[in-house]
């Protein structure tokens, strides 16, 4: 146990150093580089937890919440729709968001019963739609270009690999760590490696993009993680740009809250505001930012 304790302490120290360097470099090297802007785009990203547990629109708390949102683009993860009309169908979803004329449905799971994946609703045209595919059973990154009054921004909506820990497993580890190290380790390391590989593909897509990029979604990685560090290598964090050192949680399991959902953007773009939606419709919270250029 002493050896495990030393490893955990070392990892925490390294992650704190990485996090501090990221925070300081962002606040003092990039914060004041904003120039005069002429365009804005308000983007919301939200892991919908199977689209409000696939309830029909009249009972669906996710849809009810998003009905009151004023965003130019909605980027939704874990969207689940069914063929059986007793549940939320693709037609239901399209009708519920008919105020957005442009859509991108990018489903990772597609079978006779249901479809599951990412969805983008937009007030502006979406072109050049394509997918970054992973071997994961349910994770995917969806790319498209948004044409905003003659300018083009590349949007990447992400749902990266999860540890898939249940609330009971987290509480067991916290209360009895000596009994829970092995099962936690067995899932922790493979998921971390998978997510790192996914982040590398996103990072490559960002570097190869001919346009400025906005990358959003459920990254399943905390700001202290190597995955976040890699994603931030060529991007800025909209929350940090506007936070003034506030705290932010986007995912809550029981009494534990962490930030694993992000709106990242190219350094040539500027985040002018950032907010966290307050709703219990999903186990994640929606986040929204206005991006200017």
Q: What is the pLDDT of residues 258-273, one digit of tens each?
A: 999 999 999 999 999 9
- Compute the distance between CA of residue 152 and CA of residue 216 in angstroms, rounded to an integer: 17
Q: What is the pTM of this model?
A: 0.85
Residue 227: strand, helix, or coil? helix
Stretch 240-266: mean pLDDT, rounded? 88
Tokens of 21: 């360097």
The pLDDT of residue 178 is 59
pLDDT, the chain, mean: 87
The pLDDT-based confidence of 183 (bands split at 50, 70, 90) is low
Residue 213: strand, helix, or coil? strand
CA distances from 236 to 18, 270, 271 (A): 15, 9, 9
Q: What is the pLDDT of residues 92-135, one digit of tens each?
A: 999 999 999 999 999 999 999 999 999 999 999 999 999 999 99
The pLDDT of residue 33 is 47
Burial code (b: 16+ CB inside 10 Å, e: under 16) for 100-137 equals bebbbbbbbeeeeebbbbbbbbbbbebeeeebbebebe
Sheet of 236-237: strand order equals 126-133, 140-148, 151-159, 213-218, 261-265, 236-237
- Compute the distance between CA of residue 268 and CA of residue 37 in angstroms, rounded to an integer: 10
The pLDDT of residue 21 is 44
- Helix/strand/coil (H, E, C) string of 16-83? HHHHHHHHHHHHHHHHHHCCCCCCEEEEEEEECHHHHHCCCCCCCHHHHHHHCCCCCEEEEEEEEEEC
Ordered structural domains, the chain, with CATH: 2-292 (3.60.10.10)
Q: What is the pLDDT of residues 52-71, one digit of tens each?
A: 999 999 999 999 999 999 99
């Amino acid at each position: 146990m002493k050896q495990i304790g030393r490893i955990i302490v070392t990892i925490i120290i390294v992650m704190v150093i990485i996090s501090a360097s990221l925070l300081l470099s962002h606040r003092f090297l990039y914060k004041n580089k904003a120039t005069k802007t002429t365009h804005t785009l308000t983007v919301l990203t939200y892991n919908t937890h199977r689209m409000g547990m696939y309830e029909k629109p009249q009972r669906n708390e996710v849809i009810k919440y998003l009905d009151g949102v004023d965003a130019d683009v909605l980027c939704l993860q874990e969207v689940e729709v069914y063929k059986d009309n007793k549940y939320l169908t693709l037609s239901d979803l399209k009708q519920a968001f008919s105020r957005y004329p442009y859509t991108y449905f990018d489903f990772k799971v597609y079978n006779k019963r249901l479809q599951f994946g990412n969805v983008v609703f937009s007030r502006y045209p979406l072109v050049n739609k394509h997918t970054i595919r992973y071997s994961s059973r349910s994770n995917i990154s969806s790319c498209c270009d948004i044409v905003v009054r003659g300018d083009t921004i590349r949007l990447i909506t992400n749902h990266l690999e999860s540890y898939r820990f249940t609330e009971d497993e987290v509480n067991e580890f916290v209360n009895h760590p000596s009994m829970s190290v092995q099962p936690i380790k067995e899932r922790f390391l493979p998921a971390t490696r998978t997510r790192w590989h996914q982040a590398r593909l996103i990072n490559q897509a960002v570097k190869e993009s001919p346009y400025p990029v906005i990358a959003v979604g459920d990254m399943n990685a905390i700001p202290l993680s190597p995955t976040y560090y890699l994603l931030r290598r060529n991007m800025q964090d909209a929350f940090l740009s506007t936070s003034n050192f506030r705290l932010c949680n986007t995912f809550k399991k029981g009494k534990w809250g962490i930030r694993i959902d992000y709106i990242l953007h190219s350094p040539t773009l500027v985040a002018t505001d950032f907010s966290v939606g307050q709703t219990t419709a999903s186990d994640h919270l929606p986040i929204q930012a206005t991006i200017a250029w």
